[in-house]
Structure 1
Amino acid sequence: MDRFMAIFFAICAGIFTTLEATINSKLANIVTPKIATLHNLLTGVLVILVANILKGTLNQYSKIITVSPQLLIGGAFGTIIVYLGIKSMPELGATITLSIIVVAQLISALLVDVFLLHHREVRFGNIIGVLLLVAGTYLILKK
């Protein structure tokens, strides 16, 4: 995949994150946040199952039993992310909830890149960028 497509996919993921959180929050007002989370994840399973069947890649799932157990926890994190977003949005709204989520993601991603994956060094620009994001989130939070 080239860089342009990767950026395009990341933009789409951001847009879909906003739509998902908003829709799930509204659904949670009708059912419960746990049921809305369950529905979200079941729907996701069906979509990706069909995509894998159509692509012919479902047989790759048999490799899952050979991976390290800590690599299997992503689904649990995904569930927690959806649930916490559903719980936060009615109180905070979409802008504040997602601003906080994005800042937390970027700070933790920088820490992972630097200390776990060693993909980058902390540079002055990184620190300024994170501080600007935190400042922007503070301004969004401020009433």
Structure 2
Amino acid sequence: MNESLALIFAILAGIFTTLEAGINAKLGKIVTPKIATLHNLVTGVLVILVANILKGTIHQYRKIIHVNPQLLIGGIFGTFIVYFVTKAIPKLGVATTLTIIVASQVISGLIIDIFISKQNQLDWLKCLGILFLLTGTYLTVKR
């Protein structure tokens, strides 16, 4: 995949995250946040299952039994993410919730890059960026 397509995918992921969060929060008010989360995940499973069947790649799923079990917990995190967002948005609003999430993602991603995967180094520009990020987050969520 080229860099332009990756950039488009990242932008779409951001837009879809916003749309999904708002829709799930509204659904969670009608049913419950747990039922809204369940519906979100079941719908997602069906969509990706059909996509894999149509693409002819579903047979690769059998490789899953040979991977490190630690690599199988992503779905658990995804479930918690959907549930936590569904619970937070009615209290905080979409913009506040997603601002806090994005700031948390950037900071935790930088920590992983620097200290765990060692793909990055901490320097004063990154520290300044984090300071700006936290300042912007504070100004965005301040009531």
What TM bracket, shorter-length normalisation?
over 0.9
Task: Work out the number of aligned pairs and report it.
Answer: 143
1:17-56 to 2 correspondences below 5 Å: 17-56=17-56
Match of 1:69 in 2: 69
Match of 1:102 in 2: 102
Write the distance in 1 (CA, Å) between the matches of 2:35 and 2:46: 16
Write the distance in 2 (CA, Å) between the matches of 1:117 and 1:45: 30
Write the distance in 2 (CA, Å) between the matches of 1:124 and 1:53: 48
Displacement, 1:43? 0.3
Unmatched runs of 5 consecutive residues or more in structure 1: none
Report the residue type matching 1:122 in the other structure.
L
Structure 1 segments of 4+ aligned residues over 4 angstroms from their partners: none
TM-score, scaled to structure 1: 0.98
User: What do the CA deviations read for 1:33-76 (whole angstroms, capped 9, x no partner)?
Assistant: 00000000000000100110111110110000000111000000
Displacement, 1:126? 1.2
Q: Secondary structure at the match of 2:140?
A: helix
Q: Identity, % of aligned pairs?
A: 61
Q: Secondary structure at the match of 2:121?
A: coil
Write the distance in 2 (CA, Å) between the matches of 1:17 and 1:23: 10
Match of 2:139 in 1: 139
TM-score, scaled to structure 2: 0.98
Write the distance in 1 (CA, Å) between the matches of 2:26 and 2:128: 36
Match of 2:114 in 1: 114
Write the distance in 1 (CA, Å) between the matches of 2:118 and 2:59: 33
